Amino acid sequence: MKILYSWLKDFIELDLAPEELAKKLTDLGIEVASIEKTGADFEGVHVAQIIQIDNHPNSDHLHLVTLDRGNGVTQRVVCGAPNVAVGQKVPLARVGARLGKIVMKPAVIRGVESEGMICSSDELGLTHTRAHGILVLDENLPLGTDVSTLYGKADTVFELEITSNRPDLLSHLGVARELGVLLNKPVKLPAMKDIPGQGKALDVEIQNAEGCGRYIGRIIRGVKNAESPEWMKERLAAMGLNPKNALVDVTNYVMFELGNPLHAFDLREVEGSKVIVRNAAAGEKFTVLGGRELELTENCLLIADEKKATALAGIMGGQESGIKEDTQDIFIEAAYFNPPTINKTVKKFAISSDSSQRFERGTDIEGAMLAMRRASELFVQICGGTASEINDVYPQKFENKIVEFTPAQINAILGANIPDEKLKDIFARLAAQFDASGSVWKFKAPTHRRDLNHKWDLAEEAARFAGYDNIPVSATRAHVTFADNPKGIDLGKIYANTLIGAGFCECKNIDFVGEADLKTMGADPKFCIRVKNALAQGWDYLRPTLLPSLIKNVESNLRFGNANLKLFEASKTFQNMKGFPVENYTVAGVLTGNLEEDKFFFSKD
């Protein structure tokens, strides 16, 4: 998950240097994989226009470029970019300009003095305008304009490694909440205007309430599929996305901001007046964005209209129902989907998206409405249009259970002595509801923290926010004993050494075999252990014998002309006995070709 520092500051007041913030996150158990500087980290770069291009006298690929800086002032630089052309407006860094940590100095290139440099987007450190060659600017920009004013200010992107049990951290709001507990600072939501609804939204029918716990829909009519504003494109580019258009960008923006995925449908492609959340029919075919056709099973959850499927729920929209350049009316979806349901479909078809990665781990069911309100405001603000009422179908409201515990129990679990007041402070900031008025404390987690449902979970939170360094290290004693002759280790060495001494070569083969191999060796598959998720075709079973693998070793050698072979393998075999898996340690060998009898001997030891 990428986090943009300036975006994070929209939610919480921070005055830490990027390196200090990274340490705070690491102390909380959030791994910071990388820190990258981004944005317009340059000074002294201004808009100039190319008025003349001459060949360099001492180079066949360099050019002498004359530029107009404005007010009749010209300047000549040496440039090797392939895309320079007369009339272009470009960013010119003069002597004394700063590009990151580099300060421009006078230069002589192939015997010709250069009074500056025409910059590429890479040299300016920009993220969403990467192109080959120099950066060509808008032809309407006035000469002399400070180029740094055209782009976002210098910023920092943190690449975080988020564990599967913390889906709440897959957004800027989620990370801000974590820091709010640590730093005892308030977390603020984006300032939003409520968009009044005019007219009904589509009806919603949830046929599988276990797979879809909540579904929110809204129509916005009369939108214009405009280009996203620069600030939105900059932020999305920092997340690693290529901005497309506002109707697509807004859904991605809200997902990275609040953590709840959204989907926007072209209303023209929704037939009827109802959205149906249903399971697929066995063998039902559905084409996702990109053109891939899937043959679905009854376990796949779909979003459909009254005639056809329009999206693979929580994963990807359909080929036909997606946003188009001429889209004028949209239907917005914000929902909560059951993580195992989404996960099984993702694995079955090896299809994934930013949305599915969040739904697979678990999104905030209460946050879906916040995401809908935020997206509605941005759509109307950027694209115009008139919004309908919001249709919120929420069959059974989710509530985290109340966890009861004592501070002594928390300290006993940790082997620590955290003061009661410190624990109260941590849990009060972390909880949706917290009562410490009695000897037994009562804690109820917010809906975005479904992982806090036992006192051991709360002990871990206490350790993280109090600081792992504050938990004392105590000495422990352990007694280790060894068996006289551990079976399977010493015997394996004896067999291997004896066979190697007899001229055999040891093989190391994979533990999987196919059904055809089993039948060839006379093994009944029903007495073998079948692998649920086979890595490849022909690796469907754990091998009950080593011989199929050794025979394949012989076949491979024969193809290369190696006919005289002594091969063996010492490894585990697996069987299904009375319904239970059993491991055995087995040694097997094969001999082929002309073998000299006097060289074939075994030790009697």
Measured between alpha carbons, how far is 427 from 440 in angstroms, rounded to an integer? 13
Q: Under 8 Å CB-to-CB from 530, ≥6 apart: which residues?
A: 540, 541
Is the pLDDT reported for residue 358 higher than 80? yes
For residue 129, pLDDT over 70 is answered with no
- Please give the helix or strand (H or E) that residue 456 lies within, else none: helix 455-466
Count of beta carbons in the 10 Å neighbourhood of residue 143: 16
Distance CA 461, CA 455 (A): 10
pLDDT value of residue 97? 93
Q: How far apart are CA 560 and CA 556, in angstroms?
A: 7
Quick one: average pLDDT of 103-122?
90
Q: What angle do CA 486, 487, 490 make, to 5 degrees?
A: 75
Q: Are 550 and 569 in contact (CB under 8 A)?
A: yes
Does residue 604 carry a pLDDT above 50? Answer: no
Q: For residue 487, is pLDDT > 60? A: no
What is the Cα–Cα distance from 67 to 81, expressed in whole angstroms?
A: 15
3 state SS of 177: helix
Cα 547 to Cα 87: distance, rounded to the nearest angstrom: 76
What is the phi/psi pair of residue 33, to 5°?
Answer: -75, -35
Question: Token digits for 331?
Answer: 């239907």
Q: How many CB atoms lie within 10 A of CB 351?
A: 16
Provide the phi-psi class of 59: left if phi over 0, else alpha when psi is between -120 and 50, else beta: beta
Which residue, 106, 103, 115, is CA-closest to 79?
A: 115
484, 486, 488 from 481: Cα distances, Å: 10, 12, 18
Question: Helix H segments across 150-212?
Answer: 172-183
Q: What does the pLDDT read at residue 46?
A: 95
> Average of pLDDT values for 557-576?
88
Under 8 Å CB-to-CB from 590, ≥6 apart: which residues?
Answer: 547, 550, 551, 553, 554, 565, 566, 567, 568
pLDDT score for 601: 46
Q: Are strands 102-103 and 155-161 parallel, antiparallel or unpaired?
A: unpaired
Closest Cα partner for 383 from 327, 426, 335?
327
- Specify the range with the lowest mean pLDDT, choosing from 180-189, 452-461, 541-550: 541-550
**Least confidently predicted of 165-169, 292-296, 492-496, 571-575:** 492-496
The predicted model gives 582-605 an average pLDDT of 70
Mean pLDDT of the chain: 89
Task: Give 65's contacts (C-beta < 8 A, 6+ positions apart).
Answer: 50, 52, 53, 54, 76, 77, 78, 79, 84, 118
Residue 445 contacts residue 453 (beta carbons within 8 Å) = yes
Query: In three state form, how does the secondary structure of 8-52 look?
Result: HCCCCCCCCCHHHHHHHHHHCCCEEEEEEEECECEEEEEEEEEEE
Question: What confidence category does residue 579 fall into, taking pLDDT thresholds of 50, 70 and 90?
Answer: confident
* Residues 509-531 pLDDT 10s: 988 988 888 888 888 888 888 88
* Per-residue pLDDT reduced to its tens digit, 13-50: 999 999 999 999 999 999 999 998 877 788 899 999 99
Local confidence band at 596 (pLDDT 50, 70, 90 cut-offs): low
Measured between alpha carbons, how far is 536 from 288 in angstroms, rounded to an integer? Answer: 25
Banded pLDDT at 337 (limits 50, 70, 90) = very high
Provide the H-helix boundaries in 116-169. Answer: 121-124
| Structural tokens at position 343 | 């996960």
Mean pLDDT over residues 490-516, rounded? 85
What sign has the CA pseudo-torsion 424, 425, 426, 428? positive
For 135-158, write each residue's pLDDT tens digit: 999 899 999 999 988 876 778 999
Q: What percent of the chain has pLDDT over 90?
A: 65
Instruction: Give residue 41's pLDDT.
Output: 80
**What are the helix (H) ranges across 186-262?**
230-238, 246-258
Task: Name the pLDDT band for 600 (thresholds 50, 70, 90).
Answer: very low
Instruction: Give the residue, 502 or 433, on which the prediction is more confident.
Output: 433
Distance (Å, rounded) from C-alpha 10 to C-alpha 76? 43
Alpha carbon distance 181, 336 (integer Å): 26
What the block records as the tokens of 28 is 């909380």
Enumerate residues 6+ apart whose C-beta is below 8 A from 421.
none
* 139, 475, 481 from 478: Cα distances, Å: 76, 10, 10
Return d(Cα 131, Cα 121) in angstroms, integer: 7
> How many Å is the Cα radius of gyration of the chain?
33
pLDDT-derived band at 127 (thresholds 50, 70, 90) equals low
pLDDT of res. 203? 95
- Of the pLDDT bands very low, low, confident and very high (cuts 50, 70, 90), residue 319 is confident
- Look up residue 525 and give its amino acid: P
**Can you give the pLDDT at residue 90?**
95
Mean pLDDT of 253-262: 97
Q: How confident is the model at residue 38, as a pLDDT?
A: 77
Rounded-to-10 torsion of CA 406, 412, 416, 420: 10
Q: Helix or strand or coil: residue 266?
A: strand
- pLDDT value of position 482: 56
Token readout for 98 is 């700063």
- Structure tokens belonging to residue 421: 């007041």
What pLDDT, on the 0 to 100 scale, is given for residue 602?
46
**Separation CA 73–CA 88 (nearest Å):** 16
- Give percent of the chain above pLDDT 70: 94
**φ, ψ of residue 265 in degrees (nearest 5):** -105, 145
Mean pLDDT score, 389-407:
95
Residue-wise pLDDT tens digits, 200-238: 999 999 999 999 999 999 999 999 998 899 889 989 988
Question: Is residue 125 within 8 Å of 40, Cβ to Cβ?
Answer: yes
Residue 603 pLDDT grade (very low, low, confident, very high; cuts 50, 70, 90): very low
Q: Per-residue confidence at 299, pLDDT binned at 50, 70, 90? A: very high
